[in-house]
Amino acid sequence: MPRATSKIVEIHRGADTRDRLLRTAQSLFAERGYRGTSLRDISARVGIKAPSLLHHFNSKEQIYLAVLDRIFVRMEDAVGSVLMGREGYHERARMAVAGAIDFLAARSDYARLIWNEFIDEKGIGRQMLKRRIPPLYAMGQNFVFHGQRDGAFRRAVEPFQFIMSLNSLILGYFTTATMARRLWNINLVDRASIASRKRHVIDLVEQTLFVREPREAAEANLAKAEPDPRSHPLPGEGNRPQ
């Protein structure tokens, strides 16, 4: 009589092979593009025979779509966990920006795959984008709208345009990393550069989106009301000989 654990071991092995297959395919698709990657390439790097891939997926297209779907699921989970948090609007906005940059910095393949789909009107994943991108944008737009309604964000900001711009600021940074290294020998994805990018984008978001908090607004008004001692001479200074 077979041991009771035999089937469980096989299930885990199957799941592990599928996961390795998707991770390997993701790397190859990001490196060579969809058309430049074959089933033979994927199977060779995974370490299995090409026909064995059919046990998990029927075609290269199915593998590619599974890779994209997994990326978007993880992005939705990451974005949703921040935007639905209990912190204030300003803090959640800062966390969302920093989290998105860290998320892509740790997963360089994601930015390249998504960007390739954005610019390829006939890409294999175009239907996937139609299904996955609108909910992501809706989460961001609703967050901005609710912040405007509650007085935390400037009402003059158009939510859709803001999310479009923010997407370009974050995703575009990683898609130009290779160019920056080639042209200026700059590493945009080392720890110091990523920290600098987070500060820069958060500052832009604060300047563009945030309604000043009461204390900040009061301090700003006070600073404007106080005369600049450099432009107003003290009594008697105007009559001093030069």
Task: Indicate the domain borders of the chain.
Answer: 11-58, 61-221
What global pTM score does this model have?
0.77
How many angstroms separate the CA atoms of 238 and 242, rounded?
10
Q: Which range among 87-96, 117-126, 156-165, 167-176 shows the weakest confidence by mean pLDDT?
A: 117-126
Question: pLDDT band for position 18 (50/70/90)?
Answer: confident
Q: What is the DSSP letter of 55?
A: G
Interaxial angle between packed helices 89-105 and 108-119, expressed in degrees from 0 to 180 and rounded to the nearest 10: 90
How many angstroms separate the CA atoms of 49 and 34, rounded?
20
Residue that the structure tokens 């779509």 belong to = 65
pLDDT digits (tens, 9 = 90+) for 84-119: 999 999 999 999 999 999 999 999 899 889 988 888
Beta-carbon contacts of residue 64 (< 8 Å; ≥ 6 apart): 25, 29, 34, 124, 125
Q: What is the CATH number of domain 61-221?
A: 1.10.357.10
Q: Which range among 12-16, 70-74, 121-125, 129-133 shows the weakest confidence by mean pLDDT?
A: 12-16
| Mean pLDDT, the chain, integer | 83
pLDDT at site 50: 77
Percent helix, strand and coil across the chain, each rounded to 5?
75, 0, 25
> For the residues 162-170, what does the mean pLDDT come to?
96
pLDDT at site 94: 97
Question: pLDDT band for position 51 (50/70/90)?
Answer: confident
Within this chain, domains 11-58 and 61-221 share the same CATH topology: no
pLDDT at site 218: 42
- 153: three-class secondary structure by DSSP: strand
Q: Into which CATH architecture does domain 11-58 fall?
A: Orthogonal Bundle (1.10)
Closest alpha carbon to 71 in 11, 30, 43, 16: 30
pLDDT at site 213: 62
Distances (CA, A) of 172 to 11, 93, 190, 197: 40, 19, 16, 12
